[in-house]
Structure formats: C-alpha cells, structure tokens
Amino acid sequence: MPFPLLPVGRRRFVGAAACAMVAAGLPAAARAQTPIQIATLLPTRTPAFARAAAALLAGVEAARRGSDQPIELLQFEIGAEPAAALDGLRRAGEAAVQVVLGPLTRSAVQALAEAGPPALPVIALAPLDGEAPRNLWPLGLSLDADARQIARVALAEARATAPTATPTAAIIASAPALFRRAAQAFAGEFRAGGGEIALTVDWAPGREPVLGKAVLQTAASCVFLALDRAGAAAQRPFCGRLAAFATAQIDDGRDAAGQQDLDGVRFVEVPWRVQPDQSALAAFARPEPALGAPELERLYALGIDALRVAVEIARGHDGFALDGATGLLTAAGGRIERRGAIATLRDGVLGLDAPA
C-alpha cells in the first residue's frame, strides 16, 4: 500500500484481514463520547484503483485524526464492479455503522442509486448522473461541475466588462470523453445564464492556428479550453487577448516555472492545492511523503471532506456548510453543493486568482 495508515486511534478492518485497534491519545472528554461508526467501501486491492483509493483513505484518516469527535472506521475492501458496492453496503448495514463512505467509481454509485434509497446514509465518492435517492449524498469531484462553475465566472466577468452586450463564448475541445462532457457542461451553464456559444470546435495537434483564427473571427469575449495542459499551452497563444478558461486538467503537477503560455487561464481547483495556508484546514496533516500527483492530492482532500460530511450527517444534521479541502460545501435537502477555488497560473506556477 503506497500510503499506509498508521495505527492511531480506533479502527476496525473488515475484509481479507480483520483487526481491532483501541483508542489511544484522546483527551478524557473525547474518550467519554460514544465513537461515531463510519464504514468505507473502497477498491483498495483493485490494481486500477488502488492508488486512488489509498490516497482517499489517507485523507479520511487525516480528518479522523484532526476531529474533536472519536470515530471508529470500518474499512470494507470491495472490488470496483457495481455488484461489489451493493454487497459492501449490505455488510456495512449488518455491522450497524452510522454512515458509509463510498463507493469510488461512477458505475458503482449509479448502481447504488438505481437500487433505491439505501437503509443508511451513504456519502458517494463519485459523481452521479441524475437525481440521488434519499440517503445517498454524492460528493465526488466532477470536471463537469467545475466547468459549470467556471462558466458562471465567465458570464459574470463578461457582464461586468460589457453590461449591455450578450455574453458570448467559444469552446475548443479535444476528443476524450471527460473533455467532451466538460465542454457540454460549460456550454449548458453559459446558455442557462443568458450567454451564447458562438463556436464549438474540435481540437487536434497542428490545428492551433486555424482554430485560433476561427475563434477570433467570432464575437466571443472568452474561450473555454477543454484540453489537457499540452493542448491548452499549444492553443492559448493563438487565441489573442481573449479571456481564457479551462479545467484543472491543465495543472498536471509538472514543474513549469517560467513558462507563460497558460498565464492568466483560470480554472476551478481544490483549496487544498491552491490555498495551503487556509486556516480552516490547519487541523489536517499533509501527507508524508507527498503524493506527487495532483489527482491524488485532490482525492486526499476529498477524503478529508467526506469524513467531515459523514460526521455532520451522523450527528443528525441535514443542512450545514463546511469550509472544505475541496471547496465550500453546502448541504441541504439531501444534496451537497461544492464550490471550488478559482486558480490560475503565473509564470507556470499555480496560484489563487479570486474567490469563486
């Protein structure tokens, strides 16, 4: 396991191996409280998802250590397939836990939703397509949701710059499905806010001058780059002085200090990465050693927030707000809304742009 969990606090493992750990180091007042029992359903032994699950679980443990409430974690090792999530949820129910964290994959979360309202609260760690049944709280990181948030930023900026004009955007998107979904989410939110999409074009290496010329011939006041870092860096110089927006996929963690091709491009990022000195997160330890990849750091942050949300729900709160590691979380009516930080690059270095 690349990110081992240390034997601190009280934790039970349920799966191939089981052991019990007795609470240690807690203040007397905390020991007197009844621990909240929370189960995790994660594919920790499935090769394709093991690193992601381990990073997320390490974040859960960091939040447990930083909590003022004693918490007992029951870790159910499950496969990544939907049937394994349903079976894990059944076993968690038999263990009489109060809240479940998981599963981690979209297909497994969809399977839980289609099975109807779970008997106990479930914090799903992947996005859900469609409405969630009662007791299922999707909290996954979603590029689509981030694209919708940055579309609102683009709309507000366009209106502030030209109050009497209709906000207009152009979109350049590459072929992978995640970028297609992000482009569609941006377009849908931009139109819903009263804006227009002047042009949507497919990106491919070598087409940057042609695509840039097409964008500049429209009335667009901004461009959304649904591209990875290499594609965005190649395309951005051909988009003139248009305000440029993207997704966190342009931040791949590589040292790009001194590179200016993406300077000023804005995107949604988790505060854990862009606001490391945020006071609301001071109680939660940074991973040692460092995880080394932005996607794993985001999952670690998701683990922190998932446990904090689980504690609130276990306490009977269905309406609350948290200044979280993944953004400002607002829970109401069985839904959790996340608003991330607006980040940008300056001389290739990640930094905070402005509040979302």
Are residues 57 and 43 in contact, defined by beta-carbon separation less than 8 angstroms?
no
Predicted confidence (pLDDT) at residue 169 exceeds the cutoff of 80? yes
CA torsion 105-356-297-345 (nearest 10°) is 120
Q: What tokens appear for 285 in the block?
A: 């330890």
Which residue reads 């964290």 in tokens? 101
State yes or no: pLDDT of 327 exceeds 90.
yes
Most confident of 65-69, 286-290, 307-311, 342-346: 307-311
DSSP, collapsed to helix, strand or coil, labels residue 206 as coil
CA distance 320 to 334: 11
User: Average pLDDT in the 192-206 region?
Assistant: 97
Query: Pick the residue with more confidence: 302 or 254?
Result: 302
Predicted pLDDT at 13? 43
Range of lowest pLDDT (255-264, 271-280, 311-320): 255-264
- pLDDT of 348 over the 90 cut: no
pLDDT at 23 over 70: no
Task: Specify the pLDDT at position 276.
Answer: 84
Biggest CA–CA distance in the chain, Å, is 69
pLDDT of residue 20: 29
> For residue 7, what pLDDT band results from cuts at 50, 70 and 90?
very low
The lowest-confidence range among 21-25, 88-92, 153-157 is 21-25
Sign of CA dihedral 83, 84, 90, 93: negative
Q: What is the pLDDT of residue 252?
A: 82
Q: What is the mean pLDDT of the chain?
A: 89
DSSP collapsed to 3 states, 270-329:
CHHHHCCCCHHHCCCCCCCCCCCCHHHHHHHHHHHHHHHHHHHHHCCCCCEEEECCCCEE
- Reported for 272-280, long-range contacts at CB under 8 A and 24+ positions apart, including other chains, are 272/297, 272/298, 272/300, 272/301, 272/304, 272/325, 272/326, 273/297, 273/298, 273/301, 273/343, 273/350, 274/341, 274/343, 274/350, 274/351, 274/352, 275/341, 275/352, 278/323, 280/323, 280/324
pLDDT at 344 over 60: yes
355/122: higher pLDDT: 122
Give 265-290 pLDDT, tens digit per residue. 999 999 999 998 889 999 999 999 99
Confidence (pTM):
0.89
Q: What is the DSSP letter of 33?
A: S
What's the confidence (pLDDT) of residue 354? 57
Q: What is the pLDDT of residues 109-127, one digit of tens each?
A: 999 999 999 999 999 999 9
Report residue 335 as tokens: 């839904």
Residue 8 has pLDDT above 50, yes or no: no
163 CB-contact burial (10 Å; exposed 0-12 / middle 13-18 / buried 19+): exposed
What CA–CA distances, in Å, run from 287 to 58, 118, 250, 278, 304? 8, 33, 23, 16, 12
**pLDDT, position 255:** 66
Task: Flag whether pLDDT at 226 surpasses 60.
Answer: yes
**Residues contacting residue 139 through CB under 8 Å, at least 6 positions apart:** 123, 124, 125, 302, 305, 306, 309, 329, 336, 338
**N residues, the chain:** 356
User: What is the number of alpha carbons within 13 Å of residue 296 lying toward its C-beta?
Assistant: 19
Question: What DSSP element (H or E) covers 349?
Answer: strand 349-354
On whether the CB atoms of residues 88 and 27 are closer than 8 A, the answer is no
Band the pLDDT of 40: cuts 50, 70, 90.
very high
The answer to which of 18-32, 38-52, 56-70, 84-98 has the lowest mean pLDDT is 18-32
Residue range 166-173: mean pLDDT, rounded: 98
- Average pLDDT rounded to a whole number, residues 186-194: 98
Structure tokens at 268: 């949604």
Q: Are 110 and 128 in contact (CB under 8 A)?
A: yes
